[in-house]
Amino acid sequence: MFSSYNFCAEIKFDGFLKRLDNAITKLPEKIKELENSIETTKENIAKYTRLVEQKLPYPRLEYLQALKWDHKTLIDDLAKMGKDRDYKPVFNPKSKEVLKKMNAEKRANLVDESVTEEVKEQAKQEAYRPMKKAANDDYDMGM
């Protein structure tokens, strides 16, 4: 059980004490660094929490879900075709319909925006048009 090797004779405590002394003297610096790190982490958490709360929902979520459904349908059809060689899948991509609907909505929004821009432009032109003096000394607003 006992070893003939003497560990205490081989260990020099000078280096150990120097390392310990260095660690103790650098401890306040290390504590300050870690406190600064904690503060920056708290600031980052607050900033990113605000960003996440402001984040709008994914605009093409419906299209993404339709693509997932199409993918699942295709995988199922491939599995059925692997089992039965005579199986003929009837695949109608749902995502195509959703994409058409989204594009139609986008076009409608663009048309609405162009109409509102035209109305704003006309309103600006009317606002800067000089007033005409009517026969009875009333000012006509140009309408």
Going from N- to C-terminal start, the domains of the chain cover 12-55, 60-131
Q: Of the spans 2-16, 58-72, 117-131, which averages the highest pLDDT? A: 58-72
Go through the chain and tell me how many residues it has: 143
Q: At CA 130, angle to CA 129 and CA 132, rounded to 5? A: 120
DSSP code at position 4: S
20/127: higher pLDDT = 20
* pTM, to two decimals: 0.42
Structure tokens at 120: 């704003």
pLDDT tops 70 at residue 142: no
Cα separation values, 100 from 65, 93, 107, Å: 15, 12, 11
User: For residue 113, what pLDDT is reported?
Assistant: 78
pLDDT tens-digit readout, 27-45: 999 999 999 999 999 999 9
User: For residue 136, what pLDDT is reported?
Assistant: 57
Mean pLDDT of 57-81: 90
Nearest-angstrom CA–CA distance, 112 and 74: 38
pLDDT tops 70 at residue 2: no
Q: What percent of the chain has pLDDT over 90?
A: 31
Average pLDDT, the chain: 82
User: For residue 123, what pLDDT is reported?
Assistant: 67
User: For residue 76, what pLDDT is reported?
Assistant: 92
pLDDT tens-digit readout, 81-106: 889 888 888 888 888 898 899 898 88
Cα separation values, 19 from 9, 16, 104, Å: 20, 5, 72
Structure tokens at 100: 């058409």
Nearest-angstrom CA–CA distance, 75 and 81: 10
Nearest-angstrom CA–CA distance, 32 and 9: 39
